[in-house]
Amino acid sequence: MQQFPLPPQQPHAPREAAGAASLRARVRIPLGFPDGYRAEAEVFTFHGLADGAEHLALALGTVPEGGTPLVRLHSECLTGDVLGSERCDCGPQLRESVERIAGAGGYLLYLRQEGRGIGLYNKLDAYALQDSGLDTYDANTALGLPEDARDYTAAAQMLGALGVGGIELLSNNPDKAAQLSALGVTVERRVPTGVHLSGSNVRYLRAKVERTGHSIELSRLVG
């Protein structure tokens, strides 16, 4: 399994001194995907999250004794997760993450951070600007919005409420590891997801690599 070193600095500063969150409720939900894959998840909700949003944690599989949970921070993407949009790789990443975490044991944190935190309508407005030639980051700034508005304080609180202090992070994004580390979560290693390429997301994936250092094999995007 390929691993990547953690970055020495963090591009975004998380919220300071957020209080502890607590578990609100838990319920078991059987998951089914269009390709036939199925998994059983225990879904947790929380009290006291710093941003007040309704984030979820899905416990999948069983962590081996003495092992470290595999964790993914997955930002909500209605267009990709629900509608199957090929403009991004979110839907395939969600599907892959559920299976990999179910096999290794760990948690998928489903974070209500549509459009890297700018919201659904703004994301769709940014899509229109991308159609005129801007990349995914410049489209956000052209709207007067941050390139990436996500803050992972609530994610760290969720892990704390679940009793998780150290994780293996399933992510291509170095900022997630940097923010979690700054918030007191021990990221033992960062493990990349696969490359989910479509004819409509090549520019998007290339921008993530070139602009924010995502660990996606650019060679897979050529041709």
Give the Cα separation of 193 and 107 in Å (integer).
15
* Contact call for residues 40 and 28 (beta carbons, < 8 A): yes
* Contact call for residues 136 and 152 (beta carbons, < 8 A): no
Q: What is the gyration radius of the CA atoms in the chain, in angstroms? A: 17
Q: Based on the residue annotation, tell me whether 100 is a catalytic residue of this protein.
A: no
Annotated catalytic residue: which of 148, 151, 175, 190?
148
Q: Which residues pair with 38 in a beta bridge?
A: 32
Give the Cα separation of 109 and 67 in Å (integer).
19
First to last CA, the chain: 26
Nearest one of 14, 136, 144 to 73, comparing CA atoms: 14
CB neighbours of residue 163 within 10 Å: 7
Record the tokens describing residue 22, joined without a space: 């607590």
Can you tell me whether residue 165 is helix, strand or coil?
coil
Annotated catalytic residue: which of 100, 116, 150, 190?
150
Q: Based on the residue annotation, tell me whether 150 is a catalytic residue of this protein.
A: yes
Quote the DSSP letter at residue 220: G
Nearest one of 116, 188, 189, 125 to 147, comparing CA atoms: 116
Residue numbers annotated as active site? 148, 150
